[in-house]
């Protein structure tokens, strides 16, 4: 258990914010499956863009379990403060600041991990957002701009002095993107240097790895991103292992089918008849990537643009797999 402001988080496993992935249906699913905290995909600080359908969906928190955490991205302290206030007005109970995204289109706008180059601007943004809202503000960032310019320790101290309530640190620099392996020495140094909670992010893809990384870094929780795509049950697996030292069985084909079909129904309901099936394609691809006979099925599935046909085809695919499994047994 750890604390973010007034909120006690009971599980040491957090869903990382991921653009285009951690929408409301996925966040709610991950909470049900053991995530102690889930964070929205990033919302731009430019409120002039909020009238778009994409932004409206990102600002939709109906039915979500507290605390509702929303990530904002931008490079202007005044705009970030304004965006934080408006998000709180719309239900956000924790504001998370993005200084970790390595995407070129985000960094070109002097946002995301590009901000790490300008420590004064970092301080201005953090202080402005913290003073603008009466909810906890957290920061997600990277170990530095490049392997030669790792300044995470400095940024962490600036954050703590600015009143940031918790830090999530990805074990790569901006220049690394998602290449190579995450390094945890910098994260361990940050965890030792500050008194606020620190969450470790990067390459954590199993309960055993989560335990090893927590022990090595001395952090308060692990943050899971890409490893949750198509495997949202990873949260309960890690949570169970951290509590008991026992490894849960992999979910059965029937349970995977039920989780996926429920996820699809939520996507269709949330995005509607046109966008829902299109958004569903990438999720189905992730769920099925380790299953036999999935390559040809995914090719056929990606041609379908009707929700009912998609849903029926997934059920049929799993029935075939389940029957083969029962015959083999």
Q: What is the CATH number of the domain that holds 88?
A: 3.20.20.70
pLDDT at 81: 97
Range of the domain at 264: 253-328
Mark whether 196 and 257 lie in a shared domain: no
Listed range (2-6, 138-142, 149-153, 187-191) with the worst mean pLDDT: 149-153
**Residue 33 pLDDT more than 80?**
yes
Mark whether 127 and 81 lie in a shared domain: yes
Q: Is 107 designated active site? A: no
- The pLDDT of 297-313, averaged and rounded, is 96
Peptide bond connecting 67 to the previous residue in cis, omega within 30 degrees of 0: yes
- pLDDT 10s digits, 262-292: 999 999 999 999 999 999 999 999 999 989 8
pLDDT at 107: 43
- The pLDDT of 132-149, averaged and rounded, is 91
Q: Report the b/e string of 241-258 with b at 16+ CB within 10 A.
A: bbeeeeeeeebebeebbe
**Residue 58 pLDDT more than 50?**
yes
Mark whether 105 and 193 lie in a shared domain: yes
Which one of 182, 210, 244 terminates a domain?
244
Mark whether 230 and 298 lie in a shared domain: no
pLDDT at 237: 98
Instruction: Label residue 140 by pLDDT band (50, 70, 90).
Output: very high
Nearest to 72 by CA among 134, 29, 19: 19
pLDDT at 50: 76
Mark whether 234 and 263 lie in a shared domain: no
Mark whether 103 and 140 lie in a shared domain: yes
Percent of the chain at pLDDT above 90? 78
Name the catalytic one among 101, 107, 176, 200.
101
Mark whether 297 and 192 lie in a shared domain: no
**Residue 293 pLDDT more than 90?**
no
Rounded distance, CA 213 to CA 277, Å? Answer: 37
pLDDT at 288: 96
Which one of 209, 244, 279 terminates a domain?
244
Mark whether 161 and 263 lie in a shared domain: no
Which one of 198, 216, 244 terminates a domain?
244
- The pLDDT of 232-255, averaged and rounded, is 97
Structure-model confidence comparison of residues 115 and 70, the more confident one: 70
Mark whether 221 and 138 lie in a shared domain: yes
Total tally of structural domains belonging to the chain = 2
pTM: 0.93
**Residue 102 pLDDT more than 70?**
no
Mark whether 213 and 259 lie in a shared domain: no
Mark whether 69 and 160 lie in a shared domain: yes
Tokens 């190579």 — which residue? 180
Average pLDDT, the chain: 92
Mark whether 124 and 235 lie in a shared domain: yes
Structure-model confidence comparison of residues 82 and 116, the more confident one: 82
């Amino acid at each position: 258990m750890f604390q973010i402001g007034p909120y006690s988080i009971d599980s040491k496993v957090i869903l990382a914010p991921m653009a285009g992935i951690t929408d409301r249906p996925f966040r709610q699913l991950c909470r049900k499956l053991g995530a102690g905290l889930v964070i929205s995909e990033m919302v731009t600080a430019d409120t002039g863009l909020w009238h778009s359908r994409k932004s409206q969906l990102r600002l939709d928190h109906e039915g979500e379990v507290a605390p509702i955490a929303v990530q904002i991205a931008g490079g202007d302290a005044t705009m970030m403060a304004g965006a934080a206030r408006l998000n709180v007005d719309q239900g956000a109970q924790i504001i998370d600041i993005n200084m970790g995204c390595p995407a070129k289109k985000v960094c070109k706008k002097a946002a995301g991990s590009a901000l790490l180059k300008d420590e004064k601007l970092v301080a201005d943004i953090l202080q402005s957002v913290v003073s603008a809202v009466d909810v906890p503000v957290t920061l997600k960032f990277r170990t530095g701009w490049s392997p030669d310019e790792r300044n995470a320790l400095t940024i962490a101290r600036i954050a703590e002095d600015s009143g940031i309530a918790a830090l999530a640190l990805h074990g790569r620099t901006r220049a690394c993107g998602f290449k190579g392996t995450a390094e945890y020495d910098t994260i361990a140094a940050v965890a030792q240097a500050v008194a606020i909670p620190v969450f470790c992010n990067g390459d954590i893809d199993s309960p055993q790895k989560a335990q090893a990384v927590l022990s090595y870094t001395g952090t308060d929780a692990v943050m899971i991103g890409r490893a949750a795509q198509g495997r949202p049950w990873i949260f309960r697996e890690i949570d169970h292992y951290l509590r008991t030292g026992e490894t849960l069985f992999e979910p059965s084909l029937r349970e995977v089918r039920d989780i996926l079909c429920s996820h699809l129904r939520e996507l269709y309901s949330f995005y509607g008849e046109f966008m829902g099936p299109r958004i569903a394609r990438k999720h189905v691809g992730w769920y099925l990537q380790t299953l036999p006979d999935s390559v040809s099925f995914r090719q056929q599935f990606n041609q379908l643009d009707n929700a009912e046909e998609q849903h029926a085809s997934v059920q049929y695919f799993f029935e075939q797999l389940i029957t083969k499994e029962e015959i083999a047994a």
